[in-house]
Amino acid sequence: MLALPAFLASAVSTSLLQNEILSDCAGLPDDSLVDSYTATWSASFGAPLVGPASRKQAVWDRSSIVAIKDELQTALTDPHLKASFLAATAPHSGDWLNALPIASCGLRMDDESVRVSVALRLGLSVCVPHTCPCGKDVDAH
């Protein structure tokens, strides 16, 4: 999944430098490989990217990521799983992961808080049935 966008971004971003370096060489190789891979990408995602944005792999990746996300969302039939997926993929849903852990500002989460937060974000069970050290049984709820 990453190879094609990485190759295309690299080819676009280095094409001017390649042409400059190889301008004095006779019998330059053609760009048939680049053209072939661009055609492969175009067949799946439409017209190839142009301009400054075409130098960034993330821009090439975006189309395949959206396609995979749509495919996953379509495959989800359980309403709970679909709601969890939509919540996890909503804009800014993961912004808390980028917060700097500054204790003096109250932004540092202890290990247990991170464990619970990640479990909730991924739709996993926060607690599994087990026996407490005090000897009582703990259920999953």
Straight-line distance from the first to the last Cα atom of the chain, in angstroms, rounded to the nearest whole number: 39
The three-point CA angle 117-2-9 to 5° equals 120
Question: What pLDDT is recorded for position 72?
Answer: 92
pTM for the structure as a whole: 0.58
CA distance 64 to 98: 24
Tens of pLDDT, residue by residue over 83-135, are 888 888 899 988 888 888 888 888 888 888 888 888 887 778 888 888 888 98
Q: Which of 5, 14, 67, 72 is nearest to 37 (CA)?
A: 5
CA distance 76 to 95: 25
Q: Alpha helices, DSSP H only, in the chain? A: 3-22, 32-45, 57-75, 79-89, 111-122
Distance of CA 14 to the CA centre of its chain: 24
Two tokens, residue 138? 């703990």
